[in-house]
Structure 1
Amino acid sequence: MTTTKQDQNPRSLAVTALMKVQNGAYSNLQLNQLIDDNDLSPRDTGLLTTIVYGVIQHRLTLAYQLKPFIKKPQKVTDWVMVLLETALYQWQYLERVPKRAVFDETIQIAKKRGHEGIRRFVTGVLHQIDRVGIPDPATIDDPLTRLSVTYSVPTWLIETLTDQLGQAKTVSILSHINQPANQSVRVNLERGTVDAAVEQLTAEGYDVTRSQVAKAGLVLSGRPANQSALFKDGAMTIQDESAMLPAESMALTPSMRVLDACAAPGGKTVQLAEKLTVADGGEVVALDIHENKVKLIKHNAKRMGVNDRVTAVALDARKIDDQYPDDAFDQILVDAPCSGIGLVRRKPEIRYEKQLSDSQNLAKVQLSILNAVATKVAIDGIITYSTCTILNQENRDVVAAFLAAHPEFESQRVATANDLKPDRTTDYLEIYPDDYDSDGFFISQFKRVR
């Protein structure tokens, strides 16, 4: 199964992308690559993106619905199964695409990419589904299996969320995570105001909405954000609204020395650096374990015009004793490596790749990073801990373990510019995908008191 430069059919390109995602590629990176490599119209780019994300989001649902019509699945080539999934997805979820068009396009792709036998097989399956009807997950007796198939989420994750958040909140989250992710950007406040950015983006043809989550955030539609002159000039960057909150919540002064302990690709690093000035001695030390990712941090810092106050270093934060003395930093951000369950709308394949054991193992890594950097923040300094997951194992439990082991720290209430969740009874801030239609995120802060 191959595609060529001449193959500009977005449905065929979707099969190519989905096969690569099945083999380990990230959906967002694979889509960007295909879009860059092919001269697609905005309409075809939209269709390609919709099909790829849609099929991944609904993979378990589609597999359940196809199963009765595939007698010997082990004999069906992987790409043919993916092609059938794209057809079923379009048929069910894309109201503006007629069934006839879906059938015709799918059969033509089967013929072009395979052989006559594959074309006949695909034609037969589609016509049989049309005659018999698509199985409805609502008829599944077992409640857990029914939820899993309906929302295409593994049972372990549904069980975990239900145990931690209750049935109603879990179903609310499940009903949101298969909706399209917002395209959000953060304005570089060192290079302009939010008002000016709104005015320019509107003039460029974007539909612009101010973020209800983050002070410098905007939600855009109409065009890819990276096509804006503001992006190219470093006056804004692409970042989820929730991801803007950890740095926003840190009360920095221009002269502070700040550690970003798990920094790549540098979105939060540059956000922190915007609050500092070289003249006052402000600096962000940004660590990442991989040298190639350190280059990404440097690239982002340069594009956003803050590279004069960013020092990017290839170092495992757990080995920080090797290079930095105690009390070296005024504040520390630990945006810890995590399971990423809060990102399932933006990176839908995550839900199928993770197990509960992954979350439990990551919690050990997260705690070890916090333990390692604890002595590096000065007295009265603050450590901000954040993750892009919504599981207690990596959030509440890690915070409780750290505070229990470090009586020299006290929990501090997380404050945001828009005063999110003002009635919460916890110091930490939890953002779920159904709260503000942004990524799931967790933020906690600890002040060193002695």
Structure 2
Amino acid sequence: MPDTLKRPADAYSPLYFLASLGAGGLSVSFFMYLMFWVPHPGRPVPVFEDISAAFATGRMPMQAAIIVAVLGIAAFAFLNVKSLIWNFSALSAFRKTEGYTALRNSNAETTLLAAPLATAMTVNAMFILGLVFVPGLWSVIEYLFPMALVAFLGLGVWAFRTIGDFLGRVLTTGGVFDVTAHNSFAQLLPAFAISMIAVGLAAPAAMSGNALTVGIALVLSTFFGFAAITYTVVAAITAFNSMLQHGTAKDSGPTLMVIVPIMTVLGIMFLRQGHGLHTGFDAHTTPGETMVFLARLLTVQILFLLLGMLVLRRQGYFTDYVLGTKTSPGSYALVCPGVALSVMLQFFINKGLVEAGVIDKFGVAFWVLTAIALAAQAAMIALVLRLNRQHFGKARQAAALPAE
């Protein structure tokens, strides 16, 4: 290890884009406060005017929640963008090294999909910033939707070209894919990237009042969403077979829970599509059906969380890579499942249980369940701060491990 390396992050890996992704996800998790607690009649999402009115007329708990939400959105959106810029700069330098050439000829080539994944999250985060902080944005929102579709479609082309480079190499030349190193869910990163693009493409379907815009958003988001589902199924089955034979790669253990954010992102995509079908094409879904749909997604998430935590505890991952002195850029993959669980719980509680009439909004059961979502969010904030200190703080002797 060269002495010139000052921090673990200086041994660059594209997986450091997950640091930006995690911060962006936390920004979205704070928006859930506003989404479900602030009244926004006539609009599918709260905007600056709704938030200002709720703050002016609400009681102290509402005002406190709005302050926390607004500060959280701003702080983690800033961290998201800052990390994204750093990553693109570091990736540019990394492309000139032998390490990049080696990466492009290994299983880890798919880690390059972390770049469009994080960029798509940033686009989503910027949209939330506009809703929360820009007065009058809703009056021109219809003009922004075509630009958003073009932006996400561009990200989709980028992601598919990167995936094509990888699959074109491994499927046309035998023996270049190391099956023994496929013993994790690291190869699901392309599916995660595609699903993040899909949920972005679905946003105009949920918010636009123009039938053409809604229709285009529905079709494009369906294409990318089902592409993500297909890739997830294939990659998960082959990876699980390798894990059964070779065990789970310790430094890639957190990827076992990547199913959790994929489920959340695709779940939101389907909810957005359902809203677009309802408002644009008079197709209806009952609150009870939505509740059961979200419960099914949550069930899958809990199962994979339990599996991931079981393996990570048996391997001593947290002792070594989170609380200990070892570092791996893959540790940032731990942030996504916690944030995704928090967001999914907010949707399940509010769009599922409350709208179906199972529990009362702001009742005792509501806050007991919401406390779980808030606890998951708080844990992920602590984890992000901890990982940032480990990887981007003062100089360390050990460098980050490359991801497979």
**TM-score normalised per structure 1:** 0.25
The structure whose Rg is larger is 1
Higher percent of residues as helix: 2
Bigger relative contact order, structure 1 or 2 (CA pairs below 8 A, ≥6 apart): 2
